[in-house]
Structure 1
Amino acid sequence: MTALGTSDLDVFPLSFGGNVFGWTADRDTSFAILDAFVAGGGDFVDSADVYSAWAPGNSGGESETIIGQWLASRRPDGVVVATKVSKHPDFRGLSASNVRAGAEASLRRLGVEAIDLYYAHAEDPDTPLEETVAAFGALVTDGLIRYPAISNFSAENTREWVRIARELGVAEPVAVQPRYNLVDRTIERDLVPVADELGLAVVPYSALASGFLTGKYRSSDPAGQASPRAGTAASYATAEGLAIIAALEEAASAHDVSVASAALGWLRAKGTVPIASASRVEQVDGLLAGARLELSADEIASLDAASDAYAATKV
């Protein structure tokens, strides 16, 4: 188990990404996936109020609704639920009114008394940060959320959020959620040091780089791939990108796990609690294995080297 920053949230070191619920996984499949995740030891589920407004026929909130229905049906003990605000079509931005209205709508869909971890989903240049920080603090004071968190914020604005929270005397964030994986390590230069300094958990999304780090995509041509993420994944399939897959395969073979498990194991070795999702029940075991994998120092160094070589081509 892993403590999330300075909070009392002690979780299995992998968060299940609920962006698939109501999008690539229907209600019954979503229930089965969540059942398998919890049966395997998982207890941390991530969502957002906007999931999955982009899918035909959806308007946002579908993921939270399915999670809420599952929680009501199963009544599992100790499941930590995270969600986010600022991108739902009805609650765009981080004004105080949006933050509260978004939280209230998420609470109704999730059917919980309080949201365990509530993220500001993205920076809002149109709203003073002081207003947003105070709004999140008020949600904690009023019992709507347990802890604030930040997603997609720069290192500078992460530090500024904490400074303002301390100045106002309101609850500080306990976690940051950035993009981070073996093909995108930019946060190591700035956000990771700030998170370490401020005691913030790093809960990265895109842990498997849109599926590329599962080893499924070996061609830069996405043609013929049914996945909605195929185009993004295929863009990583350069010679240097495929060298990362080769290093993952070597580590995975040594531990008798999948390539995806090895990619998640690397993120765990970096001290993070990664988010990963699956659209099929049979994929869940591989995610859980990644959270338990202990890579050797040599394996981590090999993956770092392959990742550095890939990054050098993007400069």
Structure 2
Amino acid sequence: MTTPLVLGAMMFGTTVDEDTSFALLDRFVERGGEWIDTADCYAFWASADGRGGHSEQVLGRWLAARPGVRVRIATKLGAEPLEPGSWPDRREGLSPRAVQAAFAGSLDRLGLDRVDLLWLHQEDRSVPIEQTVEALAALPADRVGVSNFPAWLTERGRAHALSLGARPFDALQLNGSYLRPRPGTLPPGVVHRFGVLSDEQSDYAAEHGLEVWAYTPLLSGAYDNPAKPIPDVYDHPGNTLRLAALDAVSVETGATRGQVVLAWLVSRGVRPMLGGSKLHQLDAALDAMDLKLTEEQIRRLDAADHFEWASPYAAAPGTPHWARKTSTR
């Protein structure tokens, strides 16, 4: 039985050495792992040469050493710096020429002739999305998705693909967790203004049948590691209530906060992505895939930060909405 968890390979070949990377990949497959996510730009900021490609190279060597292994590979393009130190001002972008060249490089490093899912890593408004979509239609990828895109641009690209008779974007990859950042802020590590999963994007995905993948779902360990405080962007009254609900369900299930978060995401049809570097972190996340929250627990987690309640000053039927007295807290 496969797991909905995705193994993120971002730091493989840089801060995560090859032996550890292989051990994580082997454990993931042993425990029913299916999807592995990487990108052509991983991890340029941590590499000695200032360039990406190291993660894909490690995955390519692992795949070559495991003939017959059954996994699905997803990679991303569009964010690799053109020269070391030039990101974000100069990156490969999403022109047809850049897309074709970047994808050819990914296939070469991975040692594959096609991938299961190709992501556009971030939007590029210097290029009409229609041109990008037309270039994608000719590439050997079973599926195409978008990461850190606004919903309107996703829809525009999907509409053009359908007009061509090509397969449209069918997946979204965004930052997503149980706690919500304050409006107008971005969590650490999110550099794209449309990089956080919103209610609109969730609704759009549900309406059109798109998969949603959530990166950094565990806030880099902050839910359970006292040495890693929850980032300030999550400090607001709504999250105080959410943490209380999360703690209560954690006690009831005997699971950690992080495991409850992962189980809650899965209950909403979201694929959580784990980027851990230790086997025990991977095992804990995979264990969470077996955690089944009750409908009542999910309801409490969903509604924890809903402030409205029935007002004692309820208006008579027919009263205009602007004349009604409401109470919030």
Q: TM-score range by the shorter chain?
A: 0.7 to 0.9
The 5 Å alignment of 1:55-70 reads 55-58=46-49, 59-70=51-62
**Aligned partners of 1:257, 1:54: CA distance in 2, in Å?**
34
SS of corresponding position for 2:39: coil
Q: Which residue of 1 aligns with 2:120?
A: 120
**Aligned partners of 1:306, 1:13: CA distance in 2, in Å?**
25
Q: Which residue of 2 aligns with 1:197?
A: 207
Q: Which residue of 2 aligns with 1:5?
A: none
SS of corresponding position for 2:116: strand
**Aligned partners of 1:172, 1:239: CA distance in 2, in Å?**
38
1:235 counterpart (218, 232, 235): 232
1:211 counterpart (218, 221, 228): 221
Q: Which residue of 2 aligns with 1:106?
A: 106
- Confirm or deny: 8 A CA contact 2:60 2:109 kept in the other structure: yes
In the TM superposition, residue 30 of structure 1 has moved relative to its aligned partner by: 0.7
Gaps in structure 2 of 5+ consecutive residues: 83-90, 182-195, 308-329
- Confirm or deny: 8 A CA contact 2:13 2:58 kept in the other structure: yes
**Aligned partners of 2:3, 2:294: CA distance in 1, in Å?**
21
Which TM-score applies when normalising by structure 2?
A: 0.79
In the TM superposition, residue 179 of structure 1 has moved relative to its aligned partner by: 1.5
- Confirm or deny: 8 A CA contact 1:183 1:307 kept in the other structure: no
**Aligned partners of 1:180, 1:308: CA distance in 2, in Å?**
19
In the TM superposition, residue 300 of structure 1 has moved relative to its aligned partner by: 1.7
Q: Which residue of 2 aligns with 1:162?
A: 158
The 5 Å alignment of 1:70-81 reads 70-81=62-73
In the TM superposition, residue 60 of structure 1 has moved relative to its aligned partner by: 0.3
In the TM superposition, residue 308 of structure 1 has moved relative to its aligned partner by: 5.5
SS of corresponding position for 2:45: coil
Q: Which residue of 2 aligns with 1:82?
A: 74
Q: Which residue of 2 aligns with 1:50?
A: 41
- Confirm or deny: 8 A CA contact 1:180 1:206 kept in the other structure: yes
In the TM superposition, residue 239 of structure 1 has moved relative to its aligned partner by: 7.0
Higher relative contact order (CA 8 A, sep 6+): 1
- Confirm or deny: 8 A CA contact 1:182 1:307 kept in the other structure: no
Q: Which residue of 2 aligns with 1:151?
A: 147
**Aligned partners of 1:244, 1:38: CA distance in 2, in Å?**
33
Give, as a single letter, the amino acid of the residue that structure 1 aligns with 2:178: L
> Is the aligned partner of 1:36 residue 2:27?
yes
Q: How many residues align?
A: 283
In the TM superposition, residue 211 of structure 1 has moved relative to its aligned partner by: 2.5
SS of corresponding position for 2:177: coil
> Is the aligned partner of 1:297 residue 2:307?
no
> Is the aligned partner of 1:282 residue 2:280?
yes
In the TM superposition, residue 40 of structure 1 has moved relative to its aligned partner by: 1.1
The verdict on how the C-alpha distance between 1:68 and 1:36 changes in structure 2, with shifts beyond 3 A counting, is same
SS of corresponding position for 1:195: helix
